[in-house]
Amino acid sequence: MNVKMVFYSYSLVLFTSCNPAGHCGQMPHRFISAEQWAERFDAPERDAWQKPDDIVEAMEMEPGMFVADVGAGTGYMLEHLSAAVGPQGQVLAIDIEPDMIAYMQKRIERSDLSNCAAQLGRADDPGLATGRFDRVLILNTWHHISDRTEFARKIRSGLSIDGRLIIVDFAPGAGGEGPPDRHRLSLETVRQELESAGFSVTVREESLPYHYIVQATVQ
């Protein structure tokens, strides 16, 4: 199975086309069959390189927290996030594809994830309630978003006072799974985008074989 190209196209977003100056326009890429994509998004071998337990550890969640997974796709992280926040917490999985939302709702029911819900979002706005979320996770998706600084501002408004945004994305030059280097974002680019949106940024580079983990808190 070639997951290398699968995770180049993740389900929250609209692909972007950029000119040399960096100005981007939206070009829609749809994921209309969640069942078909689930065979790849939820493949057991993904755990070996995605390392969901390491992501959960980096998020430093506590029982009772409210967490959003933006660009959740088929809900790969749902069970992990649900366990981390416990029955008093809540996980909101957000995606722009209605079929992904329907798939996650079935997954939530099937796995009895009573502290999880799925919500339809927009490519330019995750639709987070103001000041509600302790953690927001964006996994394999940040490099697809067109206006990332504006998107970060909208996430910032959804964070609680001590809330954090965690971005896990493919590192340039790391090889392995994921998109080609021309579609990967440097850490400096991500840092500048988040700082422009009012975040303070720290980076964990060592945890995952093909990814960096960026933690952003409100300045």
Q: For residue range 27-74, list pLDDT tens digits in order.
A: 344 556 776 656 677 688 899 999 999 999 999 999 999 999 999 999
Fold of domain 3-218: Rossmann fold (3.40.50)
Q: Is the pLDDT of residue 216 over 50?
A: yes
**Six-digit token string for 156:** 């910032």
* 59 SS3 class: helix
Domain ranges of the chain: 3-218
The residue written with tokens 């927290």 in the block is: 65
Q: Is the pLDDT of residue 201 over 80?
A: yes
Residue 138's DSSP bridge partners are 70, 167
Q: For residue range 127-150, list pLDDT tens digits in order.
A: 999 999 999 999 999 998 999 999
Classify residue 100 by burial, with Cβ atoms within 10 Å: 0-12, 13-18, 19+: buried
pLDDT at res. 23: 28
